[in-house]
Amino acid sequence: MAKIFVYGERETMVNYANALEGVGLEALFSQDPSLAKSCDGLLLPGGGDIDPARYGQSPAGSETPDPQRDEAELSLVADFLSWGKPLLGICRGVQMLNVALGGTLIQDIPTALDHKRDPDQGDRVHLVTVPESSFLYPLYGGEFAVNSSHHQALDVLGSGLRLAARSQKDGVIEAVEAPDKRAYGVQWHPERMSFALRRPDTVDGRPIFEFFRNLFL
């Protein structure tokens, strides 16, 4: 069974644990990056905003960052890429993957109200479109609905990343991948679209985690 490192505490990331373990992966949650070397893959979870200084900008709509987490996850991305081990980024995680590879972010997207979590109703839902070359195309086809809970988005793509999905309505980048598809990420939250959290107004998030698992077979 492949072991996946996740920077953080299991108690606050139960949905990620359930999704990883639901497809037969072992999840190691820790804030000690030194434990990552024993793991087979990396999951970068959602969370707060990345310090804009990490991508050469001054604050312009970003929320207060967590410098310790930023530093740890940037180092983890570099390590796992250098080791040739698979990597999956979710929401903040896909942003971190992009920043680690030299990309930039839109700190507060003009259409944020179409993407931010509704304080009363929870995640929003919108359509995304994907090219046939995307890892997502065999899973879902060229257009499908996902949940949404973010106010930032990828801008300039990092070195070696290519587009894997866009928001149909406004063109916001919703997923990216490396050419070999062993490092990839999505802006939505598939862990909140799968297993006990499966919802009728989006696709099933489980295939994204199954795709990750299959990289270890």
| Catalytic residue set | 91, 189, 191
Among residues 212, 130, 187, which one has the least CA distance to residue 164?
Answer: 130
Alpha carbon separation from 124 to 48, 54, 111, 114 (Å, rounded): 18, 28, 13, 7
Burial (Cβ within 10 Å: 0-12, 13-18, ≥19) of residue 195: middle
Strand partners, 186: 90, 175
